[in-house]
Amino acid sequence: MFIEPAMRFERRGWIEIICGSMFSGKTEELIRRLRRARIANLRVAVFKPDADVRYHEENIVSHDETSLLSVPVPDAGSILELAKSMDVVGIDEGQFFDEELPNVCDTLALQGTRIIVAGLDMDYLGRPFGTMPELLAKAEYITKLHAICMQCGNIANYSFRKGGSKEQIELGNKDLYEPRCRLCYEKGDLLK
């Protein structure tokens, strides 16, 4: 008996996560993937938390100063309405979004949208950061990037805070943070 294969093609969505420490190239990789989607004539939307104005009020900007226009939003729920007809949605600094981000990503993926979220998987204390652990659990694809330890030159997986407050979220750059390997991170301020 011959069964004719289904000839129906439907758009399938999924979630991709790009994670790692600060200075590991997460935003740079996010921008690369989004630009390739645009080259393929896909409808692309890019979002970032409106509180992150370190480099630019609207653009997502990598540490090597590569940038891409984005829409700053106050919360994850705002993304759902703005991304309705998009083929690909990029989200930078995923760790700064509220607890709705995993649900928003699920909803969009079920609607056939490719979601790419870049964010820190750990905070400066080496603890899971924000909703990133839940997103990592839900993702079909995960890319973990590494920086170079500023103390010894090995691969770095930790974001070491050199000063500042004890709050989990404190926006900063190389003046406040440096990437470190596991051993140099554990030695902490003893390396100074």
Specify the pTM: 0.87
- Residue 169 is predicted with a pLDDT of 62
pLDDT for residue 153 is more than 80 = yes
Summarised one tens digit per residue, pLDDT across range 118-142 is 999 999 999 999 999 999 999 999 9
**Domain 14-145: top CATH class:** alpha beta
Q: How far is CA 68 from CA 61, 80, 118, in A?
A: 7, 20, 14
Mean pLDDT of the chain: 88
Per-residue pLDDT at 106 = 97
Q: pLDDT tens digits for 4-36?
A: 555 555 678 999 999 999 999 999 999 999 999
State the pLDDT at residue 2. Answer: 55
Closest CA to 125 of 173, 175, 165: 165
Tokens of 126: 């080496």
The β-bridge partners of 155 are 148
What pLDDT does 160 receive?
94
Residues 6 or more apart in contact with residue 93 via CB below 8 angstroms: 48, 49, 52, 118, 119
pLDDT recorded at residue 184: 96
Active site residues: 93
- pLDDT band at 80, cuts 50/70/90? very high
pLDDT of residue 38: 94
